[in-house]
Amino acid sequence: MLKVTDLNVFYGPIHALKGISLEVNDGEIVTLIGSNGAGKSTTLNTITGLVKAASGSIQLDGTEIANMAPHKIVQLGISLSPEGREVFPALTVEENLRLGAFTRSSKGEIEANYQRAYDLFPRLKERIKQTAGTLSGGEQQMLAIGRALMSSPKILLLDEPSMGLAPNLVLMIFDLIRSINQQGTTILLIEQNANMALSIANRAYVLETGNISLSGDAHELARDDRVRRAYLGG
Amino acid sequence: MVTFLGATINGLVLGMAYALIAVGYSLVFGILRLINFAHGSIYVFGAYMVYLFVSLQVGLFPSILLAILLAGLLALLVDKITLEPLRKKNSMLISDLITTVGVSFIIQNVLSVEKVFGSERKVFPSLNLFSNITIGHITIQSSQIIMFVVALLLLLVLTFIVNKTKIGLSMRATEQNSRAAKLMGINVNFVISFTFFLGGASAAIAGALICGYYQVISPTMGSLIGLKAFAAAVVGGIGILHGSVVGGLVVGVCECLAAQYLGSNVRDPMAFVILIIILIIKPNGLFGKKGITKV
């Protein structure tokens, strides 16, 4: 579905992604783990068009999308729930969700997507008229994911969905990610919480200072000594 | 009492037109956090387009419509040609600011070139389209009624666009977080262009209304009125639509009362006296929220 080949990204003189390649197949959950500053967010931001690629290819179902405008990439079926949630604080929950469906024009589809968001996150339904800035961190995360799903994406990119959440909420968010996937949305997940990410993913890539150092089956990587030492606390 | 009422009515009418210019500053500020100092010259350009088409016998209403369109396009082009390249390079906001000041002088000077419109004042077609209304001892000119009603309707339309339409929702989203707006599939460049167009179009309407009331037009008239409207936008709380309306009315009324009771040379500084007093009491303006920063 999504195929990244030899992607290079620079921030001024800093070589942030050094020719990385990765692939996400239809129906999979793939996770990209790595420490702070390894280039995880940069990878997602380049896929969504927010950051310009210096060279390399990004293909969605065979269509080249590298360096397309972000709004066109959303239209093609890639949606990002960004790091730090980035909900619109002064807009209501409903308006935030409506914005997620900005590229959709079918009333029926938008209605169905609202329903799906409210089924996944009943808390959002209770707070429909509340402004997003007044929600708790966990609720804002739910809103960010719900909002990203409103565009009926083929592939959902999640940037650190567990960041700053209490442990019970982390479990809940990961359960929900799994059910979103089971409902048919392909997922590329970025996490510092490598334990949780590897436990729900099919496959994983390890990113180290702009290079992919390891990749493979998520459960095998979770048993790999190098991964355990570096990311799983022994 | 009669003079007080008369001056107040004059002030409310003029204030409505100021509000129409002020929303242009507010809309652009909301999205780009930029004061567009070229806005006053767009107002002048709009008024001159009405003057031009009327003198070409196009008829008053079609002339105003054409002027609205052209002024909106000019505002949009100013952004596309001079400001968008700066945004793409992540320039300092101060560069954008001085650019808009420069553009303002360029437009005003091109208009005052002898072969274009010339620098002298000209007679502008009157907007006194029906007879004046007299209530007791107070006479209200029909151009004043038209100015008030048209400005009010347009402000309502603008509020509707911003709060109730899809493009309005995308404007509000871009205002709060343009990065996240892009992720929603919003074409942020289009939203910015649309915002400049709306501001330019409103300024042209204000130009037609104000010049139609005073029946005079000159290429330099935009500097002072632009600054007054900017003051009105800040008085109300810049970036907030209804704030600009109230700010415009406050400035208009104070100005006319000052002219009535303190003499006509106190009139023009009045907007800035109000501005300074209100900012000392409420630094973010009457309706401003504390510390509008991008989240």
What is the pLDDT, as a whole number, of residue B295?
40
pLDDT mean over A58-80: 96
Q: Is A131 on the interface with B (CB under 8 A)?
A: no
Q: What is the pTM of this model?
A: 0.92
Q: Is B291 within the bounds of a domain?
A: no
pLDDT mean over A68-86: 96
**Structural tokens at position B114:** 């002898």
Indicate which of B183, B193, B240, B287 best probes the interface with A, i.e. most A CBs within 10 Å of its own CB: B183
What is the pLDDT, as a whole number, of residue A37?
87
Q: Is A71 in contact with B295 (Cβ distance < 8 A)?
A: no
What is the number of domains present in chain B?
Answer: 1
Confidence of residue B294 (pLDDT cuts 50, 70, 90): very low
Residue in chain B closest to A144 (alpha carbons) equals B180
Residue A3 has pLDDT above 90, yes or no: yes
pLDDT mean over A88-106: 96
Please give the single-letter amino acid code of residue A95.
E
| A153-190 pLDDT per residue, tens | 999 999 999 998 999 999 999 999 999 999 999 999 99
Query: Within 10 A of A148 (CB to CB), how many other CB atoms are there?
Result: 24
Assess contact for A89 and A131: CB atoms under 8 A: yes
Parallel, antiparallel or unpaired: strands B133-135 and B138-140: antiparallel
Confidence of residue B136 (pLDDT cuts 50, 70, 90): confident
Assess contact for B175 and B30: CB atoms under 8 A: yes
What is the pLDDT, as a whole number, of residue B290?
64
Q: How far apart are CA A50 and CA A11, in angstroms?
A: 13
Q: Is B71 within the bounds of a domain?
A: yes
**Structural tokens at position B69:** 């369109």
Q: How far apart are CA B241 and CA B171, in angstroms?
A: 13
Helix (H) or strand (E) holding A18: strand A14-24
Please choose, from the candidates B282, B275, B277, the residue with its C-alpha nearest in 3D space to the C-alpha of residue B228: B275
* Residue keyed to tokens 């093609």: A76
- SS3 state of residue B236: helix
Question: What's phi and psi for A24, nearest 5 deg?
Answer: -125, 120
Query: Quick one: residue A170, left, alpha or beta (phi over 0 = left, psi -120 to 50 = alpha)?
Result: alpha
Residue B135 has pLDDT above 90, yes or no: no
pLDDT mean over A132-144: 95
Q: Is B288 within the bounds of a domain?
A: no
* Residue keyed to tokens 């390249």: B85
Q: Is B180 in contact with A86 (Cβ distance < 8 A)?
A: yes
Parallel, antiparallel or unpaired: strands A55-60 and A2-11: antiparallel
Averaged pLDDT score across all residues of chain B? 93
The stretches of B33-141 forming alpha helices (DSSP H) are 39-55, 60-78, 84-88, 93-112
Global ipTM: 0.94
Q: Is B290 within the bounds of a domain?
A: no
Cβ-Cβ contacts under 8 Å for A113 (sequence gap 6 or more):
A97, A100, A101, A104, A149, A150, A152
Residue B224 has pLDDT above 70, yes or no: yes
What is the pLDDT, as a whole number, of residue A84?
92
Q: Is B293 within the bounds of a domain?
A: no
Size of interface A-B (CB pairs under 8 A): 65
Residue B131 has pLDDT above 90, yes or no: no
Q: Is A86 in contact with B184 (Cβ distance < 8 A)?
A: no
Task: Out of B182, B184, B187, name the one closest to residue A50 (CB).
Answer: B182
Q: Is B294 within the bounds of a domain?
A: no
What is the pLDDT, as a whole number, of residue B164?
94
Q: How far apart are CA B94 and CA B26, in angstroms?
A: 18
Cβ-Cβ contacts under 8 Å for B89 (sequence gap 6 or more):
none
Confidence of residue B129 (pLDDT cuts 50, 70, 90): confident
Residue B292 has pLDDT above 60, yes or no: no
Q: Is B195 within the bounds of a domain?
A: yes
pLDDT mean over A32-40: 91
Q: Could you list the residue range(s) of the whole structural domain that residue B244 is in?
A: 2-281
What does each C-alpha distance from A156 to A28, A31, A227, B294 come to in angstroms? 11, 12, 25, 26
pLDDT mean over A39-57: 96
Q: How far apart are CA A74 and CA A50, in angstroms?
A: 11
What is the pLDDT, as a whole number, of residue B171?
96
A153/chain B closest Cα distance in angstroms: 11
Confidence of residue B215 (pLDDT cuts 50, 70, 90): very high
Q: How far apart are CA B37 and CA B28, in angstroms?
A: 11
Q: Is B286 within the bounds of a domain?
A: no
Q: Is B186 in contact with A99 (Cβ distance < 8 A)?
A: yes
**Structural tokens at position B43:** 């107002």
| B3-46 pLDDT per residue, tens | 899 999 999 999 999 999 999 999 999 999 999 999 999 999 99
Task: Out of B172, B185, B295, name the one closest to residue A71 (CB).
Answer: B185
Q: Is B179 in contact with A86 (Cβ distance < 8 A)?
A: yes
What is the pLDDT, as a whole number, of residue B114?
87
Over the Cα atoms of chain A, what is R_g?
A: 17
Residues of B with CB below 8 A from A48's CB? 183
What is the pLDDT, as a whole number, of residue A234?
62
Query: What CATH number is attached to the domain comprising B151?
Result: 1.10.3470
Residue in chain B closest to A104 (alpha carbons) equals B185
Residues of B with CB below 8 A from A69's CB? 182, 187
